[in-house]
């Protein structure tokens, strides 16, 4: 990991508003950010702290401030220590060493507003926006980026409001709009874009992926990125599937099984929620191969795994003369530690794009997502090249 220029004196601070701010990914992000700044650990997993991206005029790590919403009120240090219990991946010593940083971020966390039955969703949006405004003020006018890290939702109930900005406004104002039409991820995305705050959807929930919100983002000149962070098994697929394509090997089936035990896993054990995730995970391979092999993607909740995650993929393919061959991959990682560095990268890169006046879906960030908005590219190497070229480091 090559030398990077010291960026600590550069630029004004950057506020990162996290939806799901006390969850495992958010907590790991904040612990890691503080540990890197304090020199306790090297910046493993961060492209923005390595050559060549660290040469770009990014907001410095040192100036990042975290705030956010959560339905829970558990203290951040407690959230962090829970990730180290029972052989969990978080290093308790590091978490304790950054307790002061966590306490400071915690001051800026707010309880997530919930839409009361029979009230317009607009009220929730306005409460979100007030909290965002307060956060900006507290950061002395620093730029803000919102990142959605909350639990995966079921897909929204289809509605015309998703396709048309005017109908979306009407739906927000109506007291009787079905909550399933406007789940929280949409309200947060709307609140951010409407307020001119760049938005990153790290989850497979709808978020800003609606055509109506893409239109709004373009109208307001706001950048956004998503969706569904590419952290583990899908990352692997998008590194490996190109090999079969490049070598003209014929993939017959590609099946993937995932087990994990954290809150994300628990949410996904609801089949109506899981469909959002497995649909997102199933896109990469057919897109890269150009044809659709037999395929299965499953995510199962195994509580004893905690924040650890194991994926197993079995790939059956034909070689020369139709010879049957196969490969298996076992991937064992920590769910949150795979996601957290991408959060820091995405906050800084989305902010950079906003600074540069880019708006709408940021296709050059496809490298970070399972279901990239603004890009059809799933091949990891090509996404990487696209990222570097777009930022100006290619």
Judged by CB under 8 A, the chain residues 46 through 75 that form the site for a copy of itself are: 46-47, 49-50
How far apart are CB 306 and a copy of itself at their closest, in Å? 10
**Residue 330 binding a copy of itself, by CB under 8 A:** yes
**Could you tell me whether strands 223-226 and 324-334 are parallel, antiparallel, or unpaired per DSSP bridges?**
unpaired
Provide, for the chain, the percentages of residues in helix, strand and coil under a 3-state DSSP scheme, each rounded to the nearest 5.
45, 20, 35
Please, which residue, 188 or 301, has the CB nearer to a copy of itself? 301
Nearest alpha carbon to residue 151 among 85, 71, 76, 232: 71
Return the sign of the alpha-carbon dihedral for residues 215, 141, 390, 247: negative
Give the three-state DSSP class for 178. coil
Contact letters for a copy of itself, residues 348-387 (x by CB under 8 A): -------------------x-----------xxxx-x---
**Residue 300 binding a copy of itself, by CB under 8 A:** yes
How far apart are CB 203 and a copy of itself at their closest, in Å? 18
How far apart are CB 304 and a copy of itself at their closest, in Å? 4
How far apart are CB 89 and a copy of itself at their closest, in Å? 5
Nearest alpha carbon to residue 359 among 226, 219, 188, 163: 219
What's the rounded Cα separation, in Å, for the pair 204 and 321? 40
Piece of the chain touching a copy of itself by CB under 8 A; list 31-39, 99-107, 195-203, 275-283:
31-39
How far apart are CB 150 and a copy of itself at their closest, in Å? 20
**Residue 341 binding a copy of itself, by CB under 8 A:** yes
**Residue 338 binding a copy of itself, by CB under 8 A:** yes
Phi, psi dihedrals of residue 298, rounded to the nearest 5°: -130, 145
Q: Which of residues 77-116 bind a copy of itself (CB under 8 A)?
A: 87, 89-94
State in Å, rounded, how far the first CA of the chain is from the last one: 17
Q: Which of residues 164-203 bind a copy of itself (CB under 8 A)?
A: none
How far apart are CB 314 and a copy of itself at their closest, in Å? 6
Burial class (CB in 10 A: 0-12, 13-18, 19+), 40: middle
């Amino acid at each position: 990991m090559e030398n990077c220029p010291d960026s600590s004196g550069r630029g004004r601070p950057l506020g990162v508003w996290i939806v799901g701010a006390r969850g495992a990914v958010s907590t790991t992000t904040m612990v890691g950010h503080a540990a890197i700044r304090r020199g306790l650990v090297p910046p493993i997993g961060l492209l923005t702290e390595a050559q060549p991206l660290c040469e770009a005029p990014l907001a410095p790590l040192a100036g990042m401030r975290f705030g956010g919403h959560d339905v829970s009120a558990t203290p951040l240090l407690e959230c962090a220590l829970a990730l180290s219990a029972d052989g969990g991946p978080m290093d308790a010593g590091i978490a304790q060493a950054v307790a002061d940083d966590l306490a400071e971020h915690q001051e800026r966390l707010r309880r997530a507003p919930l839409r009361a039955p029979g009230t317009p969703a607009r009220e929730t949006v306005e409460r979100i926006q007030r909290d965002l405004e307060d956060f900006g003020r507290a950061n002395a006018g620093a730029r803000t980026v919102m990142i959605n890290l909350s639990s995966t939702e079921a897909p929204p109930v289809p509605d015309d409001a998703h396709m048309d900005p005017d109908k979306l406004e009407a739906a927000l104002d109506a007291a009787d709009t079905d909550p399933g039409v406007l789940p929280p991820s949409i309200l947060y995305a709307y609140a951010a874009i409407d307020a001119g705050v760049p938005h990153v959807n790290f989850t497979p929930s709808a978020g800003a992926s609606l055509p109506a919100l893409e239109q709004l983002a373009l109208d307001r000149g706001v950048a956004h990125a998503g969706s569904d962070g590419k952290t583990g098994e899908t990352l692997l697929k998008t590194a490996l599937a190109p090999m079969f394509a490049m070598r003209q090997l014929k993939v017959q089936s590609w099946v993937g099984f995932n087990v994990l035990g954290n809150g994300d896993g628990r949410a996904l054990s609801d089949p109506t929620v899981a469909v959002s995730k497995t649909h997102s995970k199933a896109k990469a391979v057919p897109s890269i191969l150009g044809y659709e092999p037999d395929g299965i993607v499953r995510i199962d909740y195994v509580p004893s795994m905690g924040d650890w995650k194991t994926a197993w993929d079995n790939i059956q393919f034909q070689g020369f003369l139709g010879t049957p061959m196969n490969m298996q991959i076992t991937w064992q990682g920590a769910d949150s530690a795979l996601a957290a560095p991408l959060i820091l990268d995405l906050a800084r890169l989305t902010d950079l794009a906003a600074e540069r006046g880019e708006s709408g879906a940021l296709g050059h960030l496809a490298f970070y997502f399972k279901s990239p908005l603004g890009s059809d590219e799933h091949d990891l190497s090509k996404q990487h090249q696209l990222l570097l070229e777009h930022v100006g480091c290619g």
